[in-house]
Structure formats: structure tokens, C-alpha cells
Amino acid sequence: MKNTTSEPATSASQSTQPINNQEKILTGDRATGALHLGHFVGSLQQRMQLQHQFAQTILVADMQGLTDNGHNPKKVSSNILNVVADYLAVGIDPLKTTICLQSALPALAELTMYYANLVSIARLERNPTVKTEINSKSFGRSIPAGFLTYPISQAADITAFRATLVPVGEDQLPMLEQTNEIVRRLNTIAQQDILLECKPLLSKVSRLPSVDGKSKMSKSMGNTIMLGSSQKDISKAVKSMYTDANHLRVSDPGQVAGNVVFTYLDAFHQDEDYIADLKAHYSAGGLGDGTVKKILEECLQDLLAPIRVRRATLTSDPSQLIAILKQGTERSQDETNDVLAQVKNAFGLNLF
Ligand code: TRP
């Protein structure tokens, strides 16, 4: 498999600035579902590499998950340990990476309240990612205040850990921009640089398409392959994958661009020359979809089999998952409380 081993992080990074070992990394995931192959290529692989070189924290963002699930909190509470199990099953090492729980770090919520005074509603409404989400969820004026303001909470997350490098997908860039605005405002008020600005670390792999090639991957739409998927589900998903609608006979030339099977082969198959030959053959005609799908299925089964086994073992003992999450959270209390104290101090709220 490509990039699954513990190699240096340089190949995974696309940062324009040089990275030094002093960088502190924070990433996070909303705890609204178990993780899928899109997370694997988009962020998990990169985190596995980064953990060998940097101080890295991963935040299980349960509070952020609630911002659009206030009426369905089970979607969040029931997925916290699923996300932790996925991290560990793919190879995130809790001895190297601190895994912690957002709702159990009170400093994050407090910081959010202080930062909220530095951000206007107009600015929040201009955030392009939030704007897209608001439209797709058809919130209208009923948008939860927590949802509109989640970029502020994310700024609290990032600054509370003094993170300087945040590995994210493109959709998260507006959050980092807003974070840095808050940092600059706060530092101006404090008249010293108490908070650090952060830089994005963009993943090299662009967004993995859903199995149907049409929409965003989502577990509920059944168009994705979860990290814990059974052998049968993987097989079913690959068989149903979108290829080239005009590729009717094996002898017909097929189109590789937009063909989900080839997009997945590019993302997961380790032999690039072999895939290049396969594409040439497919484009010229004479290679059937079934054959290509079989090659992809084998590749995905090989990748996910050990992950599935480790995941099953991990989820069979939730107390171990809870202990790991609790330890990481405890380790983060002092650090986040310290940043909170400095921010309160900047506002002169330090009587006792
Ligand atoms: N917004 C991220 C997501 O959609 C989750 C997240 C919360 C996060 N806090 C963060 C990411 C801090 C990076 C840094 O999954």
C-alpha cells in the first residue's frame, strides 16, 4: 500500500513553508460517525507519518459534532469511541499522539466564549465553508447559534494547544483564517504575542469520491467504504462502483477520467506503473470493468482486513478505549488551562 508505513512526513506535506520539528500539530474530527476510506487517504495516513516527527494532538470534536445534532445527540455520543477505535486500528499510536475529548476540556468552551467577543456575526456568515453547509442543510434563520459560531470554537481548539500546524482539507482553510484573525486581535489586546498563528498542512490527496461518484461520502447514504466494513460490504461496494457509463462492451475504449474505480486505484494501489498500464489498456479498449474492479477489490481487502481485525478487538473492550481517551485528555488539561489563564489575563479578568 502507498504511504501506510512510518516514513518521514515530507512526502505527505504540501505546505509552502518549511516544516521544522518544533511545530505543534493539532487535528480533529467531528464525532458524528465511524471513519471511512476518505478519512484514511485524506488525513489518517498523514497523521500516522507526522506522529513520528512532531508533537501531535488529535481532538475528538464531540461538541462540534453537536452543533448540527443538538436534537439527535446520540449520533455524537455513540460515535466517540468508534472514532477512537478507528484511530488506533489504523495505527495511530497513543504513546506518540495525544488523543483527547473536546467536551472534557472545559478551557475550550471558556475560550470560545471569550473569542466570541472578537468576531462579528457578519464575519461568521461570510465563512465560505459554513455558508455552504448552511445552504446544504437548509437551516435558514433556524440555524443553531452553535453551528454559526463553530469556527470560533475551532479557533479555541487550535490556540488552546498552541498548535502551529493544522493538517486539513481545503474546506477547513476558512477556519484557520478566522483563527488567525482572532489570534491577531487577542494579541493586540494583550499587547504581546500570547497566542500563535497557525498554518495549514494540506493533504496531497484530494477528496476521495463516493462509490457512486455523485455525492459526498456519507455513511448514511451508503455510498462509502467504512474502515470497519466487512469483507462482503467491501465486495458489494466495489461491484457497485461508478465506472464509465458508455463503456458497454469489453472491447470498447473506456474513459479513465471520472471513473471512480481508477480514482480509488490511484489512491490505494501501491504499484503506480501497473496502474498506468491498466489505464492505457482500459482507454484503448479490451479491458472490462469487472477485471479492473477485481484488482481494486483485492487491494482494498488487503488494506482493510488487518484494520477490521484490530478494530473488532478494540471495540470488544470499550474500557480500554475510554482509558486511552481519558489519559490523553488529562494530559491536555494543564496546557489548555494555561492558555485560558493568559487569555483571561489579557482581558484583565484575573482578580483571583
Ligand atoms: N472541523 C473539523 C471537521 O469538520 C473538526 C475539528 C474540530 C478540527 N476542531 C478542530 C480540525 C481543530 C482541526 C483542528 O472534522
91-127 tens-digit pLDDT: 999 999 999 999 999 999 999 999 999 999 999 999 9
For residue 127, report the distance from its CA to the centre of ligand 1, in Å: 15
Kindly state the cell numbers that stand for 240: 457497485
Nearest CA to ligand 1 atom 6: 28
Kindly state the cell numbers that stand for 12: 505527505
For residue 187, report the distance from its CA to the centre of ligand 1, in Å: 23
**pLDDT grade, residue 303 (50/70/90)?**
very high
The DSSP annotation for 123-136 comes to HHHH-HHHHHHHHH
> Which atom of ligand 1 approaches the CA of 175 most closely?
1
State whether the beta carbon of 64 lies less than 6 angstroms from ligand 1. yes
Candidate from 24-28, 130-134, 303-307 with smallest mean pLDDT:
130-134
pLDDT at 350: 92
Whether the predicted pLDDT of 5 surpasses 60: no
Distance of CA 242 to the CA centre of its chain: 24
For residue 59, report the distance from its CA to the centre of ligand 1, in Å: 8
> Which atom of ligand 1 approaches the CA of 26 most closely?
14
Residue with cell 473492550: 317
Q: Please provide the distance, in angstroms rounded to a whole number, between the alpha carbons at the two ends of the chain.
A: 55
State whether the beta carbon of 29 lies less than 6 angstroms from ligand 1. yes
State whether the beta carbon of 43 lies less than 6 angstroms from ligand 1. no
For residue 10, report the distance from its CA to the centre of ligand 1, in Å: 22
> Which atom of ligand 1 approaches the CA of 30 most closely?
15
**pLDDT grade, residue 17 (50/70/90)?**
low
For residues 284 and 253, the answer to whether their CB atoms sit within 8 Å is yes
> Which atom of ligand 1 approaches the CA of 163 most closely?
14
pLDDT at 148: 96
Give the global pTM: 0.91
Q: Which of 49, 31, 39, 60 minimizes the C-alpha distance to 332?
A: 60
Query: Between vectors from CA 59 to CA 57 and to CA 65, what angle results, nearest 5°?
Result: 165
Quote the percentage of the chain above a pLDDT of 70. Answer: 93
Which domains occur in the chain, in start order? 12-208+317-346 (3.40.50.620), 219-315 (1.10.240.10)
254-277 tens-digit pLDDT: 999 999 999 999 999 999 999 999
Candidate from 125-129, 144-148, 165-169, 174-178 with smallest mean pLDDT:
165-169
The DSSP annotation for 46-99 comes to HHHHHTTTSEEEEEEEHHHHHTTTTT-THHHHTTHHHHHHHHHHHT--TTTEEE
Average pLDDT taken over every residue of the chain: 92
Mean pLDDT of 163-181: 94
State whether the beta carbon of 68 lies less than 6 angstroms from ligand 1. no
For residues 3 and 203, the answer to whether their CB atoms sit within 8 Å is no
> Which atom of ligand 1 approaches the CA of 61 most closely?
7
pLDDT at 327: 98
